[in-house]
Amino acid sequence: MKQIGMMLSVVVMVLMLVDAAYAGEKLKQITICRDSRASGSKSVRTLRVYEADDQTCKATYSKTDVEQTVGLNRSNKQCDSILEGIRKNLEESHWNCKKMNSVSVLESKEAKEQPARTL
């Protein structure tokens, strides 16, 4: 139960750090992974799928606050497939991954007042 609470707080934190470079793209899916071998570790990996207005998708992978694009495609299934492979590799390396059922972007008053931060 404690791990779920910690994971949810990480999700809120991650969702608050929306990169301005993804303007016009909608966050469709997010998966959060934590290292199961490191008790109390704050080490997190984040897998995201963004969908653009033209139905193309972008798959990203975040590690130590650096988000990298790992796939661009015309099919959401392809982006999902790319991230599924990364998730399986992480889980084979003792990471626990949880796909979030709903995704919403939170933005604080302070975030609106500050310039956009690149991840």
Closest by CA position to 30, among listed 108, 118, 98, 107:
98
CB 81 within 8 A of CB 74: no
What pLDDT shows up at residue 59?
95
* pLDDT on residue 115: 61
pLDDT of 76 reads 82
> Structural domain boundaries of the chain?
2-106
Task: Return the pLDDT at 53.
Answer: 85
| Stretches in the chain below the pLDDT threshold 70 | 1-24, 40-41, 102-119
